[in-house]
Structure 1
């Protein structure tokens, strides 16, 4: 059975936004939520979409931020948002995956800096299958205040509405379907461990909890199978982009999923045929459906042949961590 997850507050949010003077975000069809994967209660009262930390003159502040953003990119950010973009640092690597430094997520995803060739950083993409060999996908949240569109950084002065506190990667490619979890190991001791790629696996375990509420005991680090690495570059909107050396991690587990409404709009398990239909719709441009560039690269180059090994229990036989595929 195809199981769908959806943020239950989206309808009330869309009604509130309809009367706003902000440009309307792209529309998307809202799907019914499975009771099995019920989302947690909202982090703000239904009567207000604005955090208590934001004054009533939000639009005035936003306008001020627009005029000063070029000089001070952290204007209006709260402490959490500032940490995500400027204190959490990605691991910079060369094209052979040797660590050469570290840099903020903010700088790593600015396209003008990516073009310098100095922002290549480690990433990971998790592909989680249940024991029916269905793949868990997620739909990245709509960013209501995309930087390139309104010239206000994605935080929008602490305007906390269903996923406003997103990492830079997810600001780059909103409204796309992608694999189970995609993010970055950080420049910290536990995520720099090179032996058996433990640092990347630690990061994957951390982000599965952050994004999908999957507890660590459901995804032990020794159960991740690193299959390969790929190097790719992808622009988003002229302002943001990706240049990543991406670790592809597969895991087969039945897990408890409790999506973070600040991170994930929808999630669903798909079998092979359902994924092929998703690809067909994306290629045809139906319903505005899009896939993340890294997910599409994996699908086109590896996924279906690896899926055979998922079902046979022979994933380790096709693991090749020596090769870095430049795609």
Structure 2
């Protein structure tokens, strides 16, 4: 998690720390706003005071391989670690607060996909559930990752990810069904964090 020192951050990341996140209760009801910096300070995380909305996008290519990215060593969070395809937060703006059809969260995910991976916003995404406000896309994509955000990336097969992770209860039940994930979509279900 983010530590108080900003010495390893560039100007882009320092500016992002001032973005305003949506603070929520455990039922995803908005109860306030706070800067990304304060939401990610370890002391606030340990106190559990600033539970906030976030999303995780998982992208699959046409071979059903999952795109994972390696964070830069100077990233705000999870420096050097391999992660999902893209993750961030919706901001406290009218466009990203819209709840109907989870449009605000989807707009935030599309905004950050373009920022982080250079993926144009014409692509639609499927909202799966509220564990991390996860969304999924399966298609052919041209990637142009922002070198200030992404150290490297690669596609991994289900078997390769299985070897790395023990997330069987969340990711793996629907991976074999990427042609039609609609039976697994649970927009109102909030999974335990």
Same topology, TM > 0.5: yes
2-side partners of 1:76 and 1:315: how far apart?
A: 40
Mark the runs of 5 or more structure 2 residues left unpaired by the alignment: none
1:307 aligned residue: 175
1:270 aligned residue: 156
* Deviation by residue 1:263-315 (Cα, 9 ceiling, x = unmatched): 101111111122234x1xxxxxxxxxxxxxxxx57x332111110121xx221
* Deviation by residue 1:197-246 (Cα, 9 ceiling, x = unmatched): 101110111111111111113x2xxx31111112xxxxxxxxxxxxxxx2
1:104 pairs with 2:35: yes
2-side partners of 1:74 and 1:324: how far apart?
A: 33
2:135 aligned residue: 249
2-side partners of 1:186 and 1:260: how far apart?
A: 20
Match of 1:321 among 162, 165, 187: 187
The structure with the largest helix share of the pair is: 1
1:229 aligned residue: 130
1:85 aligned residue: 17
TM superposition score normalised by structure 1: 0.54
Alignment of 1:21-32 (within 5 A): none
1-side partners of 2:79 and 2:161: how far apart?
A: 19
Say if 1:75 and 1:214 are closer, same or farther in 2 by CA, change over 3 A: closer
Say if 1:82 and 1:138 are closer, same or farther in 2 by CA, change over 3 A: closer
Say if 1:317 and 1:80 are closer, same or farther in 2 by CA, change over 3 A: same
2-side partners of 1:128 and 1:224: how far apart?
A: 9
Match of 2:50 among 119, 144, 160: 119
Alignment of 1:1-327 (within 5 A): 80-86=12-18, 88-143=19-74, 166=75, 171-217=76-122, 219=123, 223-230=124-131, 246-277=132-163, 279=164, 299-310=167-178, 313-327=179-193
Shift of 1:252: 1.1
2-side partners of 1:268 and 1:187: how far apart?
A: 32
Shift of 1:132: 1.6
TM superposition score normalised by structure 2: 0.89
Say if 1:78 and 1:306 are closer, same or farther in 2 by CA, change over 3 A: closer
Say if 1:264 and 1:81 are closer, same or farther in 2 by CA, change over 3 A: closer
2-side partners of 1:256 and 1:102: how far apart?
A: 34
